[in-house]
DNA sequence: CGCCAAGTTGTAATCGATTACAGAAACGGC
DNA sequence: GCCGTTTCTGTAATCGATTACAACTTGGCG
């Protein structure tokens, strides 16, 4: 049997290193993994041989033997989305110290891409999965859940499952948004919706509504403004919602948007239509992407600890992959931060409840 | 030898499938890879056994044997950056049809993270590498270039190397920016810089300068405004540049920013300082991120075909990995799109050349 | 000096796929 | 009916690591 010698360009194998150091492959492997179980002189020999040959263990071989790939699949609806991108970054910083790498499963908001990633799971290409998409991917009747891999969801709980999740308290966030707007004096509230049937959107909408009711707002004056089919949490969704808003005969005086991007799209339509924010309509978002610091007016929003969410999810998954099933951490809630800024203010005088309504005729005359 | 039977939860191996179908593992492998070389009845048998057992080939085993991982490493300075995120998306859509997955190498703008990804390359965990970072990662004196993997760069050429790259013509872009501003009447121009020594930034700055000179602008009136150390192409870099701009005694009347994010940060500072855009100062960016459609005023910019750049890079790499070294494609230049919009306009009257300067004293008096 | 335990090292099995090679079966031509 | 070719299938080698097990050395203790 002729062994390929490690010439320049060719990759050295453990056998090359063993030959060069004059020891067996087992010793090389041990010298690298458990140096305390090998005589110091040999460790030294092996180390020299390793650096001389530029040896890096072949990952497939190691994975095949140890049944651990040290890779994690992150399933994300869209990498191009600010929010997901930042969470992804947090995940990476959380996994890196443990030596785990990230394979990105970009759904691109297209449902037919799930199959590829389901295969990744069943092919044992990853040791665990982090979902940012709010559901468990599946295709051809085969769910990723049945691959038997540790799984964690971030940003959204997974309904009807016991998959641990990390996120903020979306209900509290929705209620707080309603409270903020109601306390500014608003009595007609709108919610510029994200994707229909999405867990997070539903949570935000229902709790916004609850919060508004709790503040004594008339149920008929809490409206959901749809953003259009398949537009998800995008600028364009906000644009569509803004156009619907303009077409309304009895407009809300304040609008809570299902995401910051929606809010920004919404504000753009307002500006173009000559409706000023916050004088004519208050607008707020949620997520707290960096961009909200640079809008005009600066956007009131609820900041999610994006990076921390990612890191916490990563650490939770690491624990599960190590077999430490800290049942205590099955539902992690991190605090959000309410940023009351310039895009929300008191309602216009003619819409501000009974007292102002009395003044309204004078203003009109 | 006792074989683990494929119970629920356990992953089926090719041996399980072979046993169930009553054939050898070789036949199973062939039935899946080259069905035309196996008797139809057996193919049928195997297919049934596969779906009954939920078999998915183990990826490490396959990779180890075939020496192809069907994975690509994408090294990106920061996943949280809009521009890179969109290119990444293009890469993914380009690679997916060929069955390649993406491993993300997020440098996070921190130089010490390179080592991890260099190891990925040497561990043969990927078949190819796409660089968005403008340089070849390396650590401990070992460059990723010596791993002998196909490599492609997107967005930036790699100096002193023959690594193929895909991008726009940054020199043409810089010149066109200068031309646009000069033809609007501007005679004092600024460049809000990106990271020092970055190839792309250098290209944009030098060509902007060249373009301005070609339009007859006085060399002394073309200034580079630094954004601050280590801030790269960020909003904060634009804020820093904006502050430096305000501190200048003889301000440019138009500023070309090294990225859209810089431009947005810059405009924020202008607004807060009561300097209006474009009346007092014209501002333009480059990249063409979606967000520029939602700024006020809408940002003049140069749109790079982000997604197409990613896809083109992916296809170039696919060709190299398949051994088709189309030397013709070693430097791909895609067209950019100049978007002249509301953030750039004529210079303020008192700065518009000789005639206006004659008027200036009258104004002061 | 003999024996047992502890410490080292090497041999070879193993992970799960692909594929070279050989053998068997089927087929056709003379 | 025999032989060569084609088509199909199975056996076993192979990829490159880790690690169980065996073998050998060394040292301590009675």
Q: Output the pLDDT for position A31.
A: 94
Q: Output the pLDDT for position B305.
A: 97
Mean pLDDT of chain B: 90
Please determine, for residue B91, whether its predicted confidence score (pLDDT) is greater than 80: yes
| Secondary structure element (H or E) that encloses residue A356, with its range | helix A353-364
Please determine, for residue B6, whether its predicted confidence score (pLDDT) is greater than 70: no
pLDDT band at A326 (very low <50, low <70, confident <90, very high): low
Mean pLDDT (whole number) for B112-137: 93
Q: What are residue B177's phi and psi, to 5 degrees?
A: -60, -45
Separation in Å: C24 C1' and B39 CA: 15
Mean pLDDT (whole number) for B248-265: 96
A176 in contact with chain B, both atoms CB, cutoff 8 A: no
Point out the nucleotide closest to A68 (alpha carbon to C1′): C15
Q: Output the pLDDT for position A364.
A: 36
Mean pLDDT (whole number) for A315-342: 86
Assigned CATH topology for domain A70-168+309-334: Rossmann fold (3.40.50)
Residues of A in contact with B290 (CB under 8 A): 235
pLDDT digit string, tens, across residues A286-296: 999 999 999 99
Please determine, for residue B27, whether its predicted confidence score (pLDDT) is greater than 90: yes
Q: Output the pLDDT for position A169.
A: 95
CB contact under 8 A, A60 and B57: no
**CB A32 within 7 Å, strand D:** yes
Please determine, for residue B111, whether its predicted confidence score (pLDDT) is greater than 80: no
Q: Is A286 helix (H, G, I), strand (E, B) or coil?
A: coil
Point out the nucleotide closest to A66 (alpha carbon to C1′): D18
Q: What is the 3-state secondary structure (H, E, C) of chain B?
A: CCCCCCCCCCCCCHHHHHHHHCCCHHHHHHHHHCHHHCCHHHHHHHHHHHHHHCCCCCHHHHHHHHCCCCEEEEEECCCCCHHHHHHHHHHHHHHHHHCCEEEEEECCCCHHHHHHHHHHHHCCCCCEEEECCCCCCEECCEEHHHHCCCEEEECCCCCCCCCCEEECCHHHHHHHHHHHHHHCCCCCEEEECCCCCCHHHHHHHHHHHHHHHHCCCCHHHEEEECCCCCCCCCHHHHHHHHHHHHHCCCCCCEEEECCHHHHHHHHHHHHHCCCCCCCCCEEECCECCHHHHHCCCCCEEEECCHHHHHHHHHHHHHHHHCCCCCHHHCEEECCCEEECCCCCCCCCHHHCHHHHHHHHHHHHC
B139 in contact with chain A, both atoms CB, cutoff 8 A: no
A41-80 residues touching B, CB cutoff 8 A: 54, 56-61, 63-64, 69, 71, 78-80
Residues of A in contact with B57 (CB under 8 A): 123
Mean pLDDT (whole number) for B54-71: 95
CB contact under 8 A, B235 and A293: yes
Same topology for domains B69-167+309-334 and B170-303+338-364, yes or no?
yes
Q: Which residue of B has its CA nearest to A126?
A: B59
In 3D space, the residue among B105, B143, B147 whose CA is nearest the CA of residue B122 turns out to be: B147
Please determine, for residue A254, whether its predicted confidence score (pLDDT) is greater than 70: yes
More confident residue, B228 or A253: A253
Q: Which residue of A has its CA nearest to B75?
A: A102
In angstroms, rounded to a whole number, what is the distance separating the alpha carbons of residues A125 and B70?
11
In angstroms, rounded to a whole number, what is the distance separating the alpha carbons of residues A335 and A333?
7
- The shortest C-alpha distance from B123 to chain A (Å) reads 5
B148 in contact with chain A, both atoms CB, cutoff 8 A: yes
pLDDT digit string, tens, across residues B269-316: 999 999 999 999 999 999 999 999 999 999 999 999 999 999 999 999
In 3D space, the residue among B303, B304, B289, B312 whose CA is nearest the CA of residue B91 turns out to be: B312
Q: Which of A63, A80, A92 shows the shortest C-beta gap to B86?
A: A80
pLDDT digit string, tens, across residues A91-117: 999 999 999 999 999 988 777 889 999
In angstroms, rounded to a whole number, what is the distance separating the alpha carbons of residues A194 and A173?
15
CB contact under 8 A, B58 and A124: yes
Q: Output the pLDDT for position A297.
A: 94
Domain ranges of chain B: 14-57, 69-167+309-334, 170-303+338-364
Q: Output the pLDDT for position B187.
A: 96
Optimal mutation site among B8, B10, B11, B56, interface A, most CBs of chain A within 10 A: B56
In angstroms, rounded to a whole number, what is the distance separating the alpha carbons of residues B263 and B45?
63
- What is the token pair recorded at A294? 């640079």
CB contact under 8 A, A56 and B293: no
Q: Decide if A153 contacts A314 (C-beta within 8 A).
A: no
Point out the nucleotide closest to B30 (alpha carbon to C1′): C18
- What is the distance in angstroms between the CA of the first residue and the CA of the last residue of chain B? 102
More confident residue, B318 or A350: B318
In 3D space, the residue among A95, A46, A90 whose CA is nearest the CA of residue A72 turns out to be: A95
Q: Output the pLDDT for position B351.
A: 57
pLDDT band at A229 (very low <50, low <70, confident <90, very high): confident
pLDDT digit string, tens, across residues A131-155: 999 999 998 888 999 999 999 999 9
Separation in Å: D5 C1' and B38 CA: 18
Q: Output the pLDDT for position B326.
A: 64
- What is the token pair recorded at A231? 């537009």
DSSP state of A5: P
Architecture of domain B170-303+338-364: 3-Layer(aba) Sandwich (3.40)
Q: Output the pLDDT for position A333.
A: 94
Residues of chain A with pLDDT > 90, as a percent, come to 79
Q: Output the pLDDT for position B230.
A: 78
pLDDT band at A232 (very low <50, low <70, confident <90, very high): confident
- The shortest C-alpha distance from A274 to chain B (Å) reads 13
B97 in contact with chain A, both atoms CB, cutoff 8 A: no
Q: Output the pLDDT for position B102.
A: 95
Q: Output the pLDDT for position A197.
A: 81
Mean pLDDT (whole number) for A308-335: 86
Q: Which residue of B has its CA nearest to A261?
A: B291
Residues of chain B with pLDDT > 90, as a percent, come to 79
Q: Decide if A332 contacts A305 (C-beta within 8 A).
A: no
Q: Output the pLDDT for position B356.
A: 42
In angstroms, rounded to a whole number, what is the distance separating the alpha carbons of residues A313 and A156?
11
CB contact under 8 A, B85 and A86: no
- The shortest C-alpha distance from A160 to chain B (Å) reads 19
In angstroms, rounded to a whole number, what is the distance separating the alpha carbons of residues A258 and A232?
9
B39 in contact with chain A, both atoms CB, cutoff 8 A: no
Mean pLDDT (whole number) for B215-244: 93
Q: What are residue B64's phi and psi, to 5 degrees?
A: -60, -45
Mean pLDDT of chain A: 90
In 3D space, the residue among A11, A117, A4, A242 whose CA is nearest the CA of residue B142 turns out to be: A11
* Residue lying closest to nucleotide D10, CA to C1': B24
Architecture of domain B69-167+309-334: 3-Layer(aba) Sandwich (3.40)
Structure-token match 């004529």, residue found: B346
pLDDT digit string, tens, across residues A30-79: 999 999 889 998 999 999 999 999 999 999 999 999 999 999 999 999 99
A247-286 residues touching B, CB cutoff 8 A: 264-265, 267-268, 271
Please determine, for residue A362, whether its predicted confidence score (pLDDT) is greater than 80: no
- What is the token pair recorded at A100? 């785990």
- Nucleotides of chain D in contact with protein CB (under 7 A) are 8-12, 14-20
Please determine, for residue B140, whether its predicted confidence score (pLDDT) is greater than 90: no
Residues of A in contact with B114 (CB under 8 A): none
- For residue B294, the cross-strand partners are none
Q: Please count the residue pairs, one from chain A and one from chain B, whose beta carbons lie less than 8 angstroms apart.
A: 153
In angstroms, rounded to a whole number, what is the distance separating the alpha carbons of residues B178 and B182?
6
- What is the token pair recorded at B268? 């924020």
**CB B26 within 7 Å, strand D:** yes
Q: Which residue of B has its CA nearest to A57?
A: B123
Q: Which residues contact B147 (CB under 8 A, 6 or more apart)?
A: A11, B118, B121, B122
In 3D space, the residue among B249, B219, B232, B250 whose CA is nearest the CA of residue B193 turns out to be: B232
In angstroms, rounded to a whole number, what is the distance separating the alpha carbons of residues B250 and A257?
43
Q: What are residue B47's phi and psi, to 5 degrees?
A: -60, -40
In angstroms, rounded to a whole number, what is the distance separating the alpha carbons of residues B68 and A87?
31
**CB B363 within 7 Å, strand D:** no
Q: Which residues contact A323 (CB under 8 A, 6 or more apart)?
A: none
Please determine, for residue B2, whether its predicted confidence score (pLDDT) is greater than 70: no
Q: What are residue B348's phi and psi, to 5 degrees?
A: -60, 150
């Amino acid at each position: 049997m002729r062994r390929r010698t490690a010439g320049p360009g060719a990759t050295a194998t453990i056998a090359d290193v063993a030959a060069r150091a004059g020891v067996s492959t087992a010793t090389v492997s041990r010298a690298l993994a458990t140096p305390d179980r090998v005589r110091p002189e040999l460790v030294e020999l092996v180390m020299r041989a390793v650096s001389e040959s530029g040896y890096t263990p072949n990952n497939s071989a190691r994975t095949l033997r140890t049944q651990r790939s040290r890779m994690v699949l992150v399933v994300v609806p869209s990498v191009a989305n600010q929010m997901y991108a930042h969470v992804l970054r947090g995940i990476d910083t959380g996994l890196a110290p443990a030596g785990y790498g990230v394979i990105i499963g970009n759904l691109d908001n297209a449902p037919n891409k799930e199959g590829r990633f389901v295969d990744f799971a069943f092919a044992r290409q990853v040791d665990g999965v982090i979902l940012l998409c709010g559901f468990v991917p599946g295709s051809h009747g085969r769910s990723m859940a049945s691959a038997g891999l540790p799984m964690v969801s971030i940003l959204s709980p997974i309904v009807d499952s016991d998959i641990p999740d990390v996120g903020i308290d979306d209900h509290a966030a929705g209620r707080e948004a309603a409270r903020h707007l109601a306390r500014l004096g608003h009595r007609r509230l709108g919610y510029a919706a994200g994707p229909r049937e999405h867990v997070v959107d539903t949570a935000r909408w229902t709790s916004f509504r609850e919060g508004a009711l709790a503040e004594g707002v008339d149920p008929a004056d809490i409206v959901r403004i749809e953003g259009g089919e398949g537009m998800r949490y995008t600028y364009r969704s906000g644009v569509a919602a803004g156009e619907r808003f303009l077409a309304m005969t009895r407009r809300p005086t304040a609008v809570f948007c299902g995401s910051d991007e929606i809010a920004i799209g919404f504000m753009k339509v307002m500006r173009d239509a000559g409706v000023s924010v916050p004088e004519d309509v208050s607008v707020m978002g949620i997520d707290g992407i960096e961009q909200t610091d640079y809008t005009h007016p600066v956007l009131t929003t609820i900041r999610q600890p994006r990076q921390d969410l990612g890191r916490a999810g990563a650490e939770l998954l690491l624990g599960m992959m190590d077999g430490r099933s800290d049942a205590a951490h099955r539902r992690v809630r991190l605090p959000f931060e309410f940023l009351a800024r310039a895009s929300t203010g008191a309602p216009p005088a003619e819409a501000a409840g009974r007292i102002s309504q009395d003044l309204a005729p004078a203003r009109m005359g």
